[in-house]
Structure 1
Amino acid sequence: EIATKRARLGNPLYLSIRHFKKFRAIFLNKVEAFISLHQSSITQQDIILWNRTLNEAFDRMIELFTMYYGQVAEAQVYAQKKLISELSTPIISISDTVGVLPIIGQIDDYKSNDFAGKIMMQAKDLELSCLIIDLSGVPSIDTMMTNELFQVVNMLELLGIDTTITGIRPEIALTAVQLGIDFSKIRTYGKLKDAVSDLLHIR
């Protein structure tokens, strides 16, 4: 139940694992306190058995927790990607000239649906002068996907459409730098709401 709740809220998995470490320490401290009170009746074999049992139980809990968390997180990402792919217009128009394209999951998943072509057509049909591409829903990215993304940015530029990218994770930035992609020509923001606020104010 906790794993499902944490996954639905989008809480980072590593934070939950940290709690397991704290709980394990609390249990071990209780065992140590019990041993100190009953030293005369406790053998070395008892201590080894309790320690092994306790650690195996916590390892199993962590294993189950990560499994259930992963199942819920994957189901959410799949549902979000399916919803976006079914939308006739994946670009969300937020003003006469500004649109938002939220990308959920891996960029590579969009290739089969003529991702780049649809963006070009819809951005042009909506008469956008600026498109915000939000990457906060992209868990990871490789070299090929980063290159694909920046090819889309270049094509939008040829159409006279400025591109703003939000939600860039450190690994995405690192991959882009390794590819030699120049970020200086692209406006970036850490959060989507900041980009929307600035661009709507400007335009």
Structure 2
Amino acid sequence: MSVTESAVRDRLSEVLSQRGTEIADRWVQLQVERSGLHDGLVESELHEDADALVTALGSALAAGLPAERIIVEHAGLRDVVVDLSLRRARAGAAPTVTSLAVMQLKEALLEAVQEELAEGRQMLAAALLVSRILDASGALCFETFVEGREEIIRRQSRQLLELSTPVVRLWRQVLAVPLIGNLDTARSQVVMENLLEAIQQHEASVAIIDITGVPTVDTSVAQHLMQTVKAVRMMGADCVISGIQPGIAQTIVQLGIDLSDILTRATLADALETAMELTSRQADARSGARG
């Protein structure tokens, strides 16, 4: 590290320590003027972000790390940038607005530095140092923002899948999953997980999977159904598939898929009748065993 850079780093740290509140307020002002208050943000939150980021930046500069490694190795500064980005992602802010907001701190900081450093070479060195740190912070902010939004999208997609595959308790120890629409790998996994959890929760002995609303059945869909049936059986319950339409039955036969060892019924009503018979037999068997 050069002597000049070390001296400039120390001077920047002093400026942040002495004029931190002023710099933070100026940063908030720049954000409001250029981006406005939107995306669920309020000015008090901007002030909290500004105070935290200015404080963390001052601490990072005082740590003596090389500029190119500060955002990577200084946990305090990195955590503040990541937290700011994630909170704004959840609020619905645009990623470019968030990353540019972090970079706008550069202007607020350099305005204060310019008043403190009269010598041109020191000012240039300070500008370069600040740019390297805050540009890296802006890049981290953008990266974190995108990852945060992707996580939100994945979670929302999962929630939509769960809403589209409800497990219904039809009778004591009898559950049903009415499926509507296409059945892919992700949705099949949600069906299996929700059904197995419901079987355990309700101590169910029969599970009905109704595919009346499933438009087509191919090899993949059939395999998913068979895996679900096997998993249900491993839980100690019987499984009935209902709603197999004539066209789907022909497709299954043409694909050479063997469903001979799986209970199937034409309608949900027929499946429920079968389920009642199965639970009745199980009850009789338990009574006979106790007798």
User: Structure 1-normalised TM-score?
Assistant: 0.51
Q: State the SS of the aligned residue for 1:184.
A: coil
Q: 1:119 aligns with which of 195, 218, 221?
A: 195
Q: State the SS of the aligned residue for 1:185.
A: coil
Deviations 1:144-168 (A, max 9, x none): 1111111111111111111001111
Whichever structure has more helix as a proportion of its residues is 2
Higher Rg of the two aligned structures: 2
After alignment, is 127-136 or 165-174 more displaced?
165-174
8 Å Cα contact 2:206/2:278 also seen in 1 = no
Aligned twin of 2:181? 105
Structure 2 unmatched runs, 5+: 1-157, 280-291
Structure 1 unmatched runs, 5+: 1-81
- 1:202 to partner: Cα distance: 4.8
Q: How does 1:81-160 map to 2 (within 5 A)?
A: 85=161, 87=163, 90-108=166-184, 110-111=186-187, 114-160=190-236
8 Å Cα contact 1:92/1:101 also seen in 2 = yes
User: Cα 1:100–1:84, aligned 2, differ >3 Å: closer, same or farther?
Assistant: farther
Deviations 1:63-83 (A, max 9, x none): xxxxxxxxxxxxxxxxxxx99
Between the aligned partners of 1:88 and 1:107, the Cα distance in structure 2 is 11
- Which one-letter code corresponds to 2:230 in the other structure? N
- 1:170 to partner: Cα distance: 3.1
Between the aligned partners of 2:160 and 2:242, the Cα distance in structure 1 is 18
Between the aligned partners of 1:124 and 1:181, the Cα distance in structure 2 is 29
- 1:120 to partner: Cα distance: 1.4
8 Å Cα contact 2:218/2:252 also seen in 1 = no
What is the aligned-residue identity percentage? Answer: 37
Q: State the SS of the aligned residue for 2:210.
A: strand
- Which one-letter code corresponds to 2:269 in the other structure? K
Deviations 1:90-113 (A, max 9, x none): 111112211111000011175287
8 Å Cα contact 1:93/1:99 also seen in 2 = yes
Q: 2:238 aligns with which of 162, 187, 190?
A: 162
- 1:187 to partner: Cα distance: 1.5
Q: Does 1:183 align with 2:259?
A: yes
